[in-house]
């Protein structure tokens, strides 16, 4: 239990005092303004030797999450159903009550929503941001996490997320990415 609290503490404070970041993910260069960054873990600090990035673009209607360590895990949701960070990234074990999901098909593709989201003090905002879907930007996989009551707007949010990612990629400061 204390390990979970420690990890949440690290993730929770990681967004404080962030600086602008230029980073290369799977060969694609991005520039993230500090005001969009909520969590940014370098590979050597993440525990998985991969980046963990959570962005909240202006408007706050969705989160963009790059989390290949968890999103690459297989799930028991069936073929073609993406593993979405913070929503369905528990692996192939039988899900607990708080890990059960429902699938919604719309123009955004498969939207994965928690049936019974965690609602406690350690679950800051997770009780609202309970659905997600996958977006690929230049083959870079991103989870788009949205509030459950915006599932009908998922197609528009997917287009907005794609535009935002393209803006991060086109920013001239992205060329400084290592």
Query: Domain locations in the chain?
Result: 2-176
Q: Which stretch of 5-19, 94-108, 145-159 has the lowest confidence by average pLDDT?
A: 5-19
3-state DSSP assignment of residue 163: helix
Q: Give the residue from 69, 72, 70, 65 showing the smallest Cα distance to 50.
A: 69
Tell me the residue length of the chain.
178
Look at residue 173 in the predicted model and tell me its pLDDT.
95
d(CA 93, CA 23): 33
Categorise residue 32: left if φ over 0, alpha if ψ from -120 to 50, beta otherwise.
Answer: beta
- Among 4-18, 70-84, 159-173, the minimum mean pLDDT is found in 4-18
What is the tens place of the pLDDT at every residue in 150-170?
A: 999 999 999 999 999 999 999
Q: Is the pLDDT of residue 44 over 60?
A: yes
pLDDT reading at 81 higher than 60: yes
pTM of the model: 0.81
pLDDT band at 118 (very low <50, low <70, confident <90, very high): low
Torsion sign (Cα): 113, 114, 116, 121: negative
Q: What is the pLDDT of residue 131?
A: 93
Q: What is the mean pLDDT of residues 54-73?
A: 89
Can you give the pLDDT at residue 98? 57
């Amino acid at each position: 239990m204390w390990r979970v609290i420690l990890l949440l503490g690290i993730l929770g404070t990681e967004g404080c005092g962030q600086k602008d970041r230029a980073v290369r993910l799977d060969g694609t260069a991005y520039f993230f303004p500090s005001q969009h960054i909520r969590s940014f873990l370098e590979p050597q600090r993440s525990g998985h030797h991969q980046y963990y990035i959570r962005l909240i673009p202006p408007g706050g209607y969705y989160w963009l999450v790059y989390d290949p360590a968890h999103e690459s895990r297989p799930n028991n949701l069936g073929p073609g159903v993406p593993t979405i960070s913070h929503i369905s990234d528990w692996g192939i074990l039988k899900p607990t009550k708080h890990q059960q999901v429902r699938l919604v098909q719309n123009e955004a593709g498969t939207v994965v929503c928690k049936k019974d989201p965690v609602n406690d003090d350690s679950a800051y905002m997770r009780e609202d941001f309970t659905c997600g879907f996958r977006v690929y930007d230049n083959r870079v996989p991103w989870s788009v996490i949205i509030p459950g009551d915006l599932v009908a707007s998922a197609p528009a949010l997917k287009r907005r997320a794609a535009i935002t990612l393209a803006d991060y990629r086109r920013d001239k400061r992205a060329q400084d990415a290592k």
